[in-house]
Structure 1
């Protein structure tokens, strides 16, 4: 499983605050709290089949998650940080103090299975929760993606599932000499929904000659490309159907003229007959791995 480079590099010592409170609240950057939460999560999942009282396992925290909402698609390019807002409802028992400094909850999206994912993505910071009753809270977090840090590979594009987790450290320091994991509460819940993580797409168009005589051919070229998460460049999207559309000058509506397919390098080329002034554009409907995109219309003056 691939994890954020800054998180992987942090040591337990760096993840602790001077007050022995997990650094989620002492310094809420990803590198300061993720390592401690991961330790608890891994222990809980590894011991999932054991007796609840067995040493080495956090106790089951009395919380549940619902009303998980995330964008239908997260569009990720080659270098820019992408942040997507997530909201959900947290319901907890009266014994759970969600206002404690060392109570942490956050959303997760994952590829593959929840307990053994191919990849996971989180937010830079824990979610912030606002109590709506004595036992419920509305929580708001983010999923943050850094494609330039090689968090994703091309095969990751497509459907991801959603989960949320909560950890109550209850004053326990995972790096302390007296750390007792059985006093830490943890709950992870999957099956909360999902989203598409897509390779950002680009589409160009160029109609020539300009101007052109009525009845003469117009050549319309372009290129459909998408982000490659493994070399941080854009490459042509091969053998994809793309619509050529035309909008008459003075109109607000584009009409499809024909459908062609990209070639082996993602390039497009076709010809039409000049009739009236207007704008040509290419439009791509998108796939599960790549979002829909429209080229900016190119005006042709027909004389």
Structure 2
């Protein structure tokens, strides 16, 4: 897959793609996109409704499904994902991600309704060439019904494609005397799709969390801000044996991360 940096060319790309990916029954109707009252798109789901988190090297495969209805039956459905400021006007970071050629198989749920599945594979080294591509991607869906009905929707669904993050935590001293200060240090990093490496993520809130030994629930002790290079430092008072960790909530463009826990013996 190669992401095309042109939302403005979306209509033409999808018409071309329909002839390549639809089953034979659908190809007969894969003409210019139109809207017929008797063909409707009822639901579009991308990646089972979950965020897509992408690192710097590993490919990520996922699917999108189009559920459509037509009184005479549904012959095909297809999806492309697009990113930009709006569907009609390409923004600076606009991009188009068509589904893979050859995908688009449909399963009938009845005489009038079918769900069609298309496949995507994202390669961070070849596809996500800009960090600005992180964030919300909208689904442009097409459905084809018999005998010649069709409909399309540029805002049929959405998914967040996020840059992966890593987070570490190390508490010291170990062991520590009751009532003394414990210092927890770690590093928060984020995938850079332009350099294909991880870089420190600074100036974002990170929570210091604690779980008392023998319990299963973490509580947040305080929130600190990551520093240069993604460095995270927090202090607390030793009150009893337990586990310390850092947690970053993430955003619509950056994945959440929780560090491994570090146990501290309090004497």
Question: TM above 0.5, one fold?
Answer: yes
Q: CA RMSD in A?
A: 3.2
Q: Kindly indicate whether residue 51 of structure 2 is the aligned counterpart of residue 73 of structure 1.
A: yes
- TM-score where L is the length of structure 1: 0.69
| 1:51-100 C-alpha deviation (Å, 9 max, x unpaired) | xxxxxx73637543221123242211111111233222123464x872xx
Q: In the alignment, what sits opposite 1:246?
A: 210
Deviation at 1:225, TM superposition (A): 1.3
**Structure 2: gaps of 5 or more residues:** 5-15
CA pair 210-107 structure 1, distance change in 2 beyond 3 A: same
1:265 partner SS: helix
Structure of higher CA gyration radius: 1
Deviation at 1:239, TM superposition (A): 0.3
CA pair 270-278 structure 1, distance change in 2 beyond 3 A: same
1:155 partner SS: helix
Q: Kindly indicate whether residue 125 of structure 2 is the aligned counterpart of residue 148 of structure 1.
A: yes
| 1:236-260 C-alpha deviation (Å, 9 max, x unpaired) | 1110011101111111011111110
Q: Kindly indicate whether residue 81 of structure 2 is the aligned counterpart of residue 109 of structure 1.
A: yes
Instruction: Please tell me whether the aligned partners of residues 66 and 77 of structure 2 are also in contact (alpha carbons under 8 angstroms).
Output: no
**Structure 1: gaps of 5 or more residues:** 5-14, 16-21, 27-35, 42-56, 99-103, 169-183
Q: Kindly indicate whether residue 101 of structure 2 is the aligned counterpart of residue 128 of structure 1.
A: no
Q: In the alignment, what sits opposite 1:58?
A: 32
Q: In the alignment, what sits opposite 1:88?
A: 66
Q: How does 1:166-245 map to 2 (within 5 A)?
A: 188-245=152-209
Q: In the alignment, what sits opposite 1:157?
A: 134
Q: In the alignment, what sits opposite 1:32?
A: none
Instruction: Please tell me whether the aligned partners of residues 82 and 146 of structure 1 are also in contact (alpha carbons under 8 angstroms).
Output: yes
Question: Aligned partners of 1:133, 1:299: CA distance in 2, in Å?
Answer: 56
Instruction: Please tell me whether the aligned partners of residues 78 and 143 of structure 2 are also in contact (alpha carbons under 8 angstroms).
Output: yes
| 1:216-273 C-alpha deviation (Å, 9 max, x unpaired) | 3222101111111111111111100111011111110111111100002111012222
